[in-house]
């Protein structure tokens, strides 16, 4: 199994979650108010009015064959907006859930 972590601006959260639904990821976790530093400088984890103004991390665990469709779906987003995707090997205790 593969763990996929995607960090994007909050405005792009629906795009990512829609993509995960289309590739039939069985679930995901969203962490809001993410801070960090990258090529675009430092992003502070705070927002004034809603969570679309901050970074979010969306995590999912999928079979290996779903990683490439996720990456292919995110390429257009990453071409226009800041963001990053990490993929790691992961063991799961209840594989039938994925």
In this predicted structure, what is the pLDDT of residue 98?
Answer: 80
Distance CA 2, CA 82 (A): 23
Domain ranges of the chain: 2-97
In this predicted structure, what is the pLDDT of residue 2?
Answer: 97
Mean pLDDT for the stretch of residues 56-63: 96
Tell me the per-residue pLDDT of 5-54, one tens digit each, with 9 for 90 and over: 999 989 999 999 999 999 999 999 999 888 777 676 665 555 555 555 68
In this predicted structure, what is the pLDDT of residue 43?
Answer: 57
2 φ, ψ (degrees, to nearest 5): -125, 135
Is 2-97 a CATH 3.30.70.120 domain? Answer: yes
């Amino acid at each position: 199994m593969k763990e996929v972590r995607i960090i994007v601006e909050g405005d792009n959260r629906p795009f990512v979650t829609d993509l995960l639904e289309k590739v039939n990821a069985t679930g995901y976790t969203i962490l809001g108010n993410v801070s960090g530093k990258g090529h675009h400088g430092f992003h502070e984890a705070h927002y004034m009015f809603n969570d679309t103004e901050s970074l979010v991390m969306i995590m999912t665990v999928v079979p290996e064959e779903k990683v490439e469709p996720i990456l292919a779906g995110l390429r257009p987003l990453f071409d226009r907006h800041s963001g990053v995707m990490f993929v790691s090997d992961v063991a799961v205790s209840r594989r039938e859930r994925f």
